[in-house]
Structure 1
Amino acid sequence: MTLLNLLEEQLPASALSVALMGLAVISLLQYIHSTPEAQRRLGRRKYLTLGAQAVFTYLPSAAYGYMWGGMTGFLAGSVLLLLPPRPAWALYGAIGAEMFAGSLLSGYTWEQSLYFCLTPVLCGLVVYGLSLLSQVIRELHDTRSELARMAVAQERLRFARDLHDLLGYSLSSITLKSELIRRLIPTQPQQAVEEVAEVLTISRQSLADVRTVASGYREMSLEQEIASARSVLTAAEVDVRAEVTLHPVSSEVDTVLATVLREAVTNVLRHSRADRCVITVARADHGRVRLSVVNDGADPAHRDASLDSGSGLGNLAARLQAVGGRLTFHHTDSCTFRLEAEAPAEHTGTAATRTEEFAT
């Protein structure tokens, strides 16, 4: 509009050239001020660029008059974009008031002066709003990209964690039972056949578990895991005592506690020379459920010989934290390892208590 006003006045070529140069400088400065993250990139230089825009806004107005008045709207928008809110809005109001007062002093009526005031004021709001909209859209796209990357990373972590928790236990069970079968074949072939059947059951269950991991849905039962732990530890010639007080809990908590027990049994098999293991499930304070696994033979120097010793305890801590629980574990002086998991139970009900004692 300023350019059309200048062309309509049929100014001399020299005056028009100077005006066009001024418009080009203001356009460049406005582009710099309206770009996303201008505050961060400009730093303290923003005061220099704002000063330059103010000079090219007010100095030519002495020669071109009302034709140049629209440029104050872009200066008002830049002030709102670059300065802190309080001084920005104060200067914004001052620019509008200056346009109104200047027009009155120049002999225009108050209606014309009001028009000359409202035009740059509205222009400044449009410049400010569109510039912010551009920044918000860019931040939205960046956020969506970051959320997509985080979702992929979380899914990879979930898949790796579930495979570790499932296959570590299953493969350890298959290995132990296979060793037991090899010892039984010469002297007790019938029992060896029974153990082979259990190995097949574990293998089929492992395959089903892997499929559920791939589908993203897996539900486990603490009660079933206790029975499985008894079978596997017994095959490893570990005396097992289970003191279990079962309470109704949510399926999610039940799955997490079952996972904790599975990993605890895997650690007993892989990282200790245990002769005895005690599994306890009981009600804790404030409507919480506590699972503890205590085993002897926990020599800190004894580690699994495989290249990857696993990251099960870290996985368990993350799982329990997700349901509002916590994981604690420590060694004692008597080479005993204690692992405790505590999580909230979402339901209450009559507890069924039972004590099971097993010995090889």
Structure 2
Amino acid sequence: MTTEPLLAVSNLRVRFRIGGVISALAGRLTEIEAVAGVGFTLERGQTLALVGESGSGKTTLARAVNGLQPAASGSIRFEGRELGNFSNAGWKSLRRKISMMFQDPVGSLSPRLSVRSLLAEPFAIHGLSGRSLNAEVERLLALVGLPRDFADRYPHQLSGGQARRVGVARAVALDPVLIIADEPTAGLDVSIQGEVLNLLNSLRDRMGLSMLIITHNLHVVRQIADRMAVMYLGRFVEEGETEAIFQAPRHPYTAALLSANPEPDPDKVHNRIALPADVPSLLDRPSGCEFHTRCPFAQDICAGQVPASSALGTSRLTCHFPLDAGTRAVKTIATT
């Protein structure tokens, strides 16, 4: 007997209506597809990272999983239950199990509420106010490494790192099983980023959490994620075990992202794949492989035929000409 994954997403599509000048410029197009047929599974205790350039659909996908953005079609199953069938009351009960950390650590905290009120609020919303809320607040502050006197501070009195810790405390307040974290280290100093990542890893191990992480920071991915998925124009182009992809990216877009990742060693020679800066518009998706307009390895077939998703090693990818274990070198790779 097989055990269902904690989260299973299949052929998910999210669309946004457009109008006015944008619609006129696009002809008769009235919708854009921000997430275009994505599927993945997340096991209990596992961390999956979504990576890609801005506008690739990472946050939209996460918001759809959490019910904050309606899906046009596809399936989202959590603990074996189809989320598309949930009522508002059903989603409220589910919020105790799926928690979200938003990108702006300070902006996601109400400026009118003290830290005490912010951390007590989830208990009140879910009818758990019979507990000793002061005790719960102190427990949560201790859990994320903040002194108890922080309970009486307001968001404007917190540093970015302190605000992020409060956000983590609020996210785990009701003992969820899944945390969705949108850019958990954005805007933080490097040393503080490390502290936040260590905190998340510690809580994952201690509480048995699963995590869906959205990030541009590939160092974050390598430190915290078991698996990673690379998005481009709303689709997964490569998905697999994090370390395997870092060691040998098979999709040219993945290789380009990893080649641009900053290295701390100033003497190291960097082989960077130079891509055109402009990402195609969702209003006018390229034909065939949508990455072919920027791909240094593209051939004629790439412009006319959509590549099928295929398994290669421990990864799945969509590419007519996958890289041979990351060792291919062409003249478009510039050494700096």
- What is the TM-score with the length of structure 2 in the denominator? 0.21
When you count strand as a share of all residues, which structure comes out higher? 2
* Structure possessing the higher relative contact order (Cα contacts under 8 Å, 6 or more residues apart): 2
TM-score by structure 1 length?
0.20
Compare the two structures and name the one with the higher helix fraction. Answer: 1
Larger radius of gyration: 1
